[in-house]
Chain A
């Protein structure tokens, strides 16, 4: 891990607590109960027949993480980390957020557990996501505007790290994606693998066999690793992660480090990054704020290098088209992040026979994106 010396011991303390409680039956029972009664799990696996017809090939199944409490997969992780924080005796929770989904999911669990909560958010994102800022404040969180650097998600993460290094005695930092220093990538993955474990059981029950392919969008990559991980040993299942190609990979304005970045070190881990030739991190672009991150979880870098998973990209335009297609064909409004996965799944389905199965993680719902989509169509809400 790549952090300053002050954080080495606190990270070790966190690792020990995480290793202890992930095999602690009482902790796991509490987590399962919350996932069922508070989050609403298991989330359904839905055979999207009209979407499959529209794509004209393989059958598309959607894992409905959009139906979770707070509207996305993010809460699977914040519940787990907040329960861990309480077991460790920490009284103050901090988090970074880009679009605000992780911030809302953190503020939600902090409210439920009665913990103080501070969320760091880039000034640019605060302006783009006013409704989520208001939601977090209603939930009792303080939202701190981050004005350094590009004033977006990566800078919010920097600022949360600075808070943590200063207040490490009573504070637990809930990272929202599979990035950051160890044990975060492993811990966030473990809390998100409930997606893949449920999906595997559900598809076996509904279709009587494993899917031919998995598709999920990848920003930092937490929803994707959560789906992929329980299938890694099922070598007959192809795995596709979909990054944000923004205005196109060749335009340079994108957020696709696995497709078009190079290896480096940021936020405590070595992974693929969007960076210039001097090693400075460059600004990313995507229509979906949740994919607007210059790095990617190190396990995705490893899956790419080992060849177990393939990483592709969908442009803003393709994601928006998929957003509308799913909305009109199934009555499901997806998050713009998840729309990247839908877009690629439809493309892939078209090249496959109708008896083949593609399982897509519908990681979040699109309510939060109404303003963005309306504005792109020239409509003021």
Chain B
């Protein structure tokens, strides 16, 4: 069992659903990322998804696109992101960190080299949103050699056959995309999400995280009732974006939203 899966199962044994914030590395600037990661853990985050900026984030809505653009204005590269994880690990050896992004920067670095350097930096898993399992053999092989978890998305459009296939390749957890659409999209249809998550659970023993469309303590609580991990991204990044002129207020503002979600989730 990988560090991520072990961590999630240990939380589940304590009846705690994981709170998983997503922020883009290098947004609003590279110096803020490590303090932000520590601040999020202090506010109740159990794992962190760290976005690797990409010039063409096809699966993301405007909020995360702009985060990527701000990070790229500072030329935040995949190597820089690994450096940030390394610095985060100096003070936090425990909280799992998953890199999330698009395939091309990983491919440009090379699968072997990425896997080696990511493992050395203390990364636990990788989610490349534009890499379905059909194309993933080489990358998954390289990741597994370094004990990194390949994380995959499941969508409302995924058939039972695809869910089985994806869960065979995935480890750590699977990430259910709760809406048809892009990150930061409209409202959750909680009934539909519940049915789909139940269908996924019938097909795999992997922990199931749910993301897309979770923006406040209420939606976090609703998703916590049915999942093992609640993933929140755009709502946090919106808080960052609103405070570009006063960067010192960013960590407290992000922490405040997470703490609200944490206590809503814990009061189930």
Which residues on A are within 8 Å of B, measured CB to CB?
A: 1-10, 148-149, 154-155, 158, 161-162, 165-166, 168-169, 264-268, 273, 275, 277-282
Contacts and interface: CB of A to CB of B under 8 A. Distances in A.
B158 A264 contact: no
B177 A149 contact: no
Contacts of A2: 103, 130-132, 135
22 contacts: A3-B58, A4-B58, A5-B155, A5-B158, A5-B177, A6-B59, A6-B155, A6-B157, A8-B162, A9-B159, A149-B65, A158-B58, A162-B58, A165-B180, A165-B182, A168-B157, A265-B107, A278-B108, A279-B105, A280-B55, A281-B56, A281-B104
Q: Which 6 A-B residue pairs are closest in the complex by CB-CB distance?
A: A279-B108, A279-B105, A166-B181, A6-B155, A278-B77, A5-B153
B109 A279 contact: yes
Contacts of A1: 132, 134-135
B78 interface: yes
Contacts of A279: 54, 78, 104-109
B108 A277 contact: yes
B166 interface: yes
B57 interface: yes
Contacts of A168: 157, 180
A1 B152 CA distance: 15
Chain A CB within 10 Å, residue with most, of B109, B154, B155: B155
Nearest to B105: A279
Contacts of A10: 157
Contacts of A267: 56, 58
Given A3-B58, A4-B129, A267-B58, 20 more contacts: A2-B103, A4-B153, A4-B177, A5-B132, A5-B153, A5-B154, A8-B158, A148-B62, A158-B57, A162-B61, A166-B185, A265-B104, A273-B104, A278-B75, A278-B77, A278-B108, A279-B54, A279-B78, A280-B54, A281-B55
B155 A166 contact: no
Chain A CB within 10 Å, residue with most, of B54, B72, B75, B180: B180
Contacts of B158: 5, 8-9
A239 B160 CA distance: 45
Nearest to A160: B58
Nearest to A6: B155
A277 B156 CA distance: 35
A1 B132 CA distance: 8
Interface string B123-156: 0000001111011000000000000000011111
Report the contact-size class of chain B (Cβ under 8 Å from the partner): 35 or more
Interface string B177-216: 1001110010000000000000000000000000000000
A256 B74 CA distance: 27
Contacts of A169: 180
A159 to B, nearest CB: 9
* Chain A interface SS verdict (over half): mixed
B200 to A, nearest CB: 12
Interface in B48-70: 54-62, 65-66, 69
A370 to B, nearest CB: 32
Nearest to A279: B108
Contact of B105 (A7, A8, A158, A280): A280
Given A9-B157, A268-B130, A280-B72, A154 B56 contact: yes
Contacts of A154: 56
A155 B182 contact: no
Chain A CB within 10 Å, residue with most, of B65, B152, B157: B157
Nearest to A155: B56
Contacts of A4: 58-59, 129-130, 153, 155, 177
B18 to A, nearest CB: 21
Given A9-B157, A148-B69, A278-B78, A166 B104 contact: no
B104 A5 contact: no
Chain A CB within 10 Å, residue with most, of B59, B106, B166: B59
B260 to A, nearest CB: 28
A282 B108 CA distance: 14
Contact of B182 (A162, A280, A282): A162
A278 B130 CA distance: 17
B107 A264 contact: yes
A161 B65 CA distance: 14
Contacts of A149: 55-56, 65, 69
Interface in B64-114: 65-66, 69, 72, 75, 77-79, 102-109
Contacts of A3: 58, 130, 132
Contacts of B152: 5
Given A265-B130, A280-B54, A275 B157 contact: no
A80 B177 CA distance: 33
B99 to A, nearest CB: 13
A280 B26 CA distance: 15
Chain B CB within 10 Å, residue with most, of A165, A166, A169, A281: A165
A266 B57 CA distance: 10
A161 B185 contact: no
A8 to B, nearest CB: 6
